[in-house]
Structure 1
């Protein structure tokens, strides 16, 4: 069964680099092994940070891949839950996860710990290392 995930921007940066130990997760996305859920707001952040950390060409290529891949889900998060108080900018990932009915958000950001104490809506967060382990286990089966 294909998992629906929301990927934090810093985790996206870590998986797209060919020399990264987690590049296999990007290859898995390219192979259609999981569905990447996003909103327009998330895409805008991806673009901004990719341009800062890499360059415009790489940012454009990554965004084109994401927006044109068949294993993505563009979400209209028409309600803002505002569940993360320490860094409200992270709420775009939470809203996307809720409306996409995502299995989890992949993030190493400590602000997502706020979600551990919220029962509704329930949003699971896994660290990138945990997602890599889950992916390897699924791939082995």
Structure 2
């Protein structure tokens, strides 16, 4: 199963937009189709930002479901690669947790591209690069379009 680390911006924005790529990724973690990875520092940031920015109880409950599914790691290696020092914790957790992806909309992280085998991509790029077309084929079949 693929392991991912979500940047806080993706988590907080994604949980509030059920049509977004980020929302779909969050749901995939909740339903066990992806494995989410975080450190305690990331989890604290998630919770801090969520309580500041989200007031809808349904969204907060969804975040609790997401947190419950996370694999929490204690990074031993600490990177100093991002121009924004607060972003380095995502690199630390991803490498320690053997994640394949960090999913972010943050230019400081995206500019790094790849760090020790961890690809840093947007939610849209992640879903397009990992989607084998199954979901699209199911949708086509469901609405009755023949090829």
For Structure 1 versus Structure 2, the TM-score category normalised by the shorter chain is: 0.7 to 0.9
Q: Does 1:9 align with 2:8?
A: yes
Q: Tell me the CA shift for residue 24 of structure 1.
A: 2.6
RMSD (CA atoms): 2.5
Counterpart secondary structure, 2:76: coil
Choose 1 or 2 for highest CA Rg: 2
Does structure 2 retain, via aligned residues, the 8 Å contact 1:43–1:63? no
Say how many residue pairs are matched: 135
Partner of 2:121: 126
Secondary structure, counterpart of 1:101 in structure 2: coil
Which one of the candidate residues 54, 77, 93 is aligned to 1:79?
77
Q: Which runs of 5+ in 1 are unaligned?
A: none
Unaligned runs of 5+ in 2: 138-147
Aligned to 1:20: 19
Task: With the length of structure 1 as denominator, give the TM-score of the two structures.
Answer: 0.80
TM-score normalized with structure 2 length: 0.77
